[in-house]
Amino acid sequence: MGGLAAFARPKIKITAAELWPVRATPRTVWLLISLRSDANIDGLGEASDAFGIYATTPENVAAMRAEINRQFPLLHNRSPFDIEHFRQSATLPNLLARTVHSALEQAMWDMAGKALDVPVYALLGGKVRDTLPVYANINRTAKPRTPAGFAATAKRAVAEGFRAVKLAPWDNFVDTEAYVEQGIDCLIAVREAVGKDVKVMTDCHSFFTVPRAIAVAKKLEPVALDWYEEPVAPERTADTVAIRRGIKQNMAGGEFLFEVKGFEPLCREKAVDVIMPDVKHCGGILEMTRIAAMAAAHGVTVAPHNPTGPIATAASVQLCAGMKNFRILELQWGEVEWRGDLVRPTERFHNGTISVPEAPGLGLTLNEDLARQHQMP
């Protein structure tokens, strides 16, 4: 079964939702949501980082379960094909609500694709590429967080075949010139370690003022950054425009923005060269297709934010397979050796790329035995 002949809207209803909080590291918990159906077809979505960039606590997990319970009545006994109804019926006042909603929406697409025996990308208009370039976010793996530590970590990622790396050397920000200079030194060390042919990006996590952002960017010019990400909060469009006009590097941002209206000011005002919608926060798969189309109309490329687990990566791959203005996909690299085994088939990267799967839905299932071994109480 496949193609248009299959689209007879299978009789399938969503019956339950389950949260899988999977502890990867003391910093990282992958928050995975499974939708169950009356047709023995499940759907998966990911809601990690629903509490911002901070470590997830048991209290956070309890809050997420409560939010799932709040939104689930909109799905109960409905078809997974009722995606637009779910979107238009939901009230989403904060990041937690938007992230849970986005994960449930991902799971609906996964279930719908599996019901029709087609990949999600086929439901979105098809694919134009079989593999996607991926960059290694080395930020959580680098130890110590010094120039030497970041340089050594970057070299390991490049040795695995990645041709682009990103780091955020100003995390745990200290408002001193010495701390700012150390971050600059980290980026210089990474460039020296990986050579001139590997792309290097940096995320500033909105820690800077406009003058400091411009001053830091000028000192980083020898690094030849592929992009300079969120030196100030992306909602501050005028400040972002001022920085972009004052520096030579490409600008990127938008990891926690929501819906087309959240990204439209950045694109309309030419504040960034690259937007970074996250399938976990922006409203889900359907909304990201609309965000990307709006960005394309303004000549802005899309590099989806994706510093989380394998389910969000799988959803992002389906989106990017056919995206006209796709640039590169993020991977939170090197956190745990068993990451790839959390899903079936095993998540694999080859020479800094990931293949677009041909299997139905998002192209995978959850390894529930391994998830239980690492489940957070």
Positions annotated as catalytic residues are 205, 305
What CA–CA distance (Å, rounded) separates 330 from 316? Answer: 9
- Is the backbone peptide bond immediately before 345 cis, with ω within 30 degrees of 0? yes
Enter the DSSP assignment of 117. Answer: T
Nearest to 46 by CA among 60, 59, 35: 35
- Name the token pair of 235: 């909602």
Q: Residue 39 is encoded by which pair of tokens?
A: 């047709």
Tokens of 124: 């979105």
- Residue pair 120/46 in contact by the 8 Å Cβ criterion: no
Give yes or no for a contact between 327 and 303, defined as CB atoms under 8 angstroms apart: yes
Q: In this structure, how many other beta carbons lie within 10 angstroms of the beta carbon of residue 122?
A: 20
d(CA 23, CA 373) in angstroms, rounded, equals 9
Distance separating alpha carbons of residues 153 and 142, to the nearest angstrom: 6
Q: Are 224 and 191 in contact (CB under 8 A)?
A: yes
Q: Is the dihedral of CA 253, 257, 259, 264 positive or negative?
A: negative
- Residues of the chain by 3-state class (helix, strand, coil), percent to 5: 40, 15, 45
